[in-house]
């Protein structure tokens, strides 16, 4: 993991087309602004994890009811 120090209004570039900007710092919270192409999904980790869980659940085979 790369760890960088930034101040408010400073940015980090990822590749040529993703910009992460420090928008605000209040106590132990940092607000980030993210500029990325529309085809690049950007989610908070907990939202990404929930999407992945739902995708795995939707991909599970459905067991038809057993016939006696």
pLDDT in tens, 38-62: 999 999 999 999 999 999 999 988 7
pLDDT in tens, 7-27: 999 999 999 999 999 999 999
For residues 59 and 53, what is the distance between their CA atoms, to the nearest angstrom? 10
For residues 20 and 4, what is the distance between their CA atoms, to the nearest angstrom? 12
* Terminal C-alpha separation, the chain: 56
């Amino acid at each position: 993991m790369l760890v960088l120090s930034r101040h408010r209004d400073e940015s980090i570039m990822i590749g040529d087309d993703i910009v992460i900007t420090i928008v605000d710092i209040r106590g132990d919270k940092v607000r980030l602004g993210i500029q990325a192409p529309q085809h690049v999904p950007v989610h908070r980790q907990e939202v990404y994890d929930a999407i992945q869980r739902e995708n795995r659940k939707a991909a599970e085979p459905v067991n038809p009811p057993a016939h006696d």
